[in-house]
Homo-oligomer: A and B are copies of this chain.
Amino acid sequence: MEKDNLTLLTDFYELTMMQGYFKNNANETVIFDMFYRNNPSGSGYAICAGLEQVIEYIKELHFDTEDIEYLRGLNLFDEDFLGYLADFRFTGDIYAIPEGTVVFPMEPLVKVIAPIMEAQLVETAILNIVNHQSLIATKASRVVYAAKGDGVMEFGLRRAQGPDAGTLGARAAVIGGCIGTSNVLCAKKFNVPALGTHAHSWIMSFEDELTAFRKYAELYPQNTTLLVDTYDTLHSGVPHAIQVFNELKEAGKKPKIYGIRLDSGDLAYLSKKARKMLDDAGYTDAVIVASSDLDEYLIDSLKTQGAAIRSWGVGTNLITSKDCPAFGGVYKLAAIKKGNGFIPKIKLSENTWKITNPGNKTIYRIYDKETGKIKADLIALADEVLSEKDPLLLFDPMATWKKLYLKPDTYTLRELLVPVFIAGECVYESPAVMDIRQNCIEELDTLWDETKRLVNPHNVYVDLSNKLFQMKNELISDMNLDK
């Protein structure tokens, strides 16, 4: 079977517009920015993810015969345009922020510089992929933050929005900090740990719970985690688990990693009671795992209540980002090439903060030299050159009287966007997912706790360079004059 060609994974209007540009011989090179306006789930930051799949998608872009046949059958596209599509390849440049990076609203996560027909075609898939994975990576990062160093396992495949959402979602969850996933396909494809033990049906398929536990322990002596809530957690499950641990100990076969899993009921109460029962029986190193409709707020609350849980399996609420299931990234025209330069473009809106940032842009991240924490991000024009040797005056573009003056040599600069495609050729190699995960842990270290806290976090400043700010205001004024 052929792998699904994702070239048609696009909105229909991209194709009707493409034909429009084709018919008008209007295939100017343009710049589109993919950015988002609000962090999901009330977060103080987001984690960007999905670039590896964007790269695959761009590399494989082509209309095969079947695609052309289908489009011809719609009686809307002319033969000359279909001929153009048959030879279609992506020939432009793409810049992007590497996966696992901490990002903030209004920053271009992906910048596409390409003939408008190409830039338009790829809009929908880029948004789909980056929106989805950034959403789940961000959610995972919040859940992992709440778990305060305990392992968080991604367990959501059965409730994910289709196969890709399960597999690419689990990939993003690992980038955001999960230690692994129950999804075997994801584990195989992206070389991340596959995790899990057994279900209630395992217990129910044996004559009794004790036999089921014994059989499981016999089979998996390396990691014996027993699910204790099939019949009655404290009166049946935990005593039976302890009985099996006793038998193993007596036989000199006490497992290295072992414990119990709670999957229902009052996790604070049950975990404390079970902890005491395990401790009293001498199993102070038995781990209590929990997995029952968890999210960052519930884990935080359980932690506050002193729940004795040290490992968390998080399903539905993570893999769907239940409280905020869409990332809201958009893809907006920023400039059109004319001669050797770009004419900046802007989209107005009744809402001031919805007005786009025009021009060919880049993003500088400004770190405090002493602490290594992020001071602010600065969106500038691509041809501006900043130096750590110069003083830097930052101001809030929505409230320009709010200023911050940075002395020379007190800050370090990093450009966030890296080249991914140049003239249609891929110039970027995606790191392994576990390496992106490690990088993301380091990224999170550049945020103060006040930005990472779950509720009402401190927002990091994303400012505009003075040159960009002036250009934007001039464009707005010109637009108003036009009316």
Binding site for B on A (CB under 8 A): 1-4, 6, 8-17, 19-21, 23-24, 26, 28, 30, 32, 60, 67, 70, 74, 76, 116, 120, 123-125, 127-129, 131-133, 135-136, 155, 157-169, 182-185, 187-188, 194-202, 204-205, 215-216, 219-220, 222, 230-232, 235-236, 264-265, 316, 320-322, 325-329, 331-333, 336, 345, 347-350, 479, 482-483
Contacts and interface: CB of A to CB of B under 8 A. Distances in A.
A235 B201 contact: no
A197 B13 CA distance: 5
Nearest to A130: B158
Given A6-B185, A188-B67, A158 B128 contact: yes
Contact of A264 (B8, B132, B350): B350
Q: How many copies does the complex hold?
A: 2
Contact of A326 (B14, B159, B201): B159
A132 B11 contact: no
B131 A347 contact: no
A169 B161 CA distance: 8
Contacts of A320: 161, 320, 325-326
Contacts of A67: 188
A9 B166 contact: yes
Contacts of A26: 205
B157 A205 contact: no
B128 A162 contact: yes
Contacts of A24: 215
A483 B236 contact: yes
Contacts of A74: 194
Contacts of A220: 16, 76
Q: Which of A116, A188, A321 has the most CB of B within 10 A?
A: A188
Contacts of A132: 160-162, 165
Contact of A205 (B8, B160, B336): B336
- The 4 lowest CB-CB distance pairs between A and B, nearest first, are A13-B196, A162-B164, A1-B3, A164-B164
Contacts of A205: 21, 26, 28, 30, 116, 333, 336
Contacts of A328: 159, 316
Nearest to A182: B11
Contacts of A160: 128, 132, 161
13 contacts: A1-B2, A9-B184, A12-B187, A12-B195, A17-B201, A19-B219, A20-B215, A120-B199, A120-B201, A127-B158, A162-B168, A316-B326, A322-B326
A199 to B, nearest CB: 6
Contacts of A232: 348, 483
Contact of A20 (B13, B165, B219, B231): B219
Contacts of A185: 4, 6, 8-10
Contacts of A198: 13, 16-17, 20
A232 B220 CA distance: 67
Given A9-B166, A124-B157, A483-B235, A230 B17 contact: no
Nearest to A331: B158
A350 B265 contact: yes
A265 B348 CA distance: 12
A390 B43 CA distance: 61
Given A20-B216, A200-B347, A350-B264, A11 B184 contact: yes
A49 to B, nearest CB: 11
B128 A163 contact: yes
Nearest to A158: B127
Contacts of A162: 128-129, 132-133, 161-162, 164-165, 168-169
Contact of A332 (B201, B327, B349): B201
Contact of A197 (B16, B159, B265): B16
A266 to B, nearest CB: 9
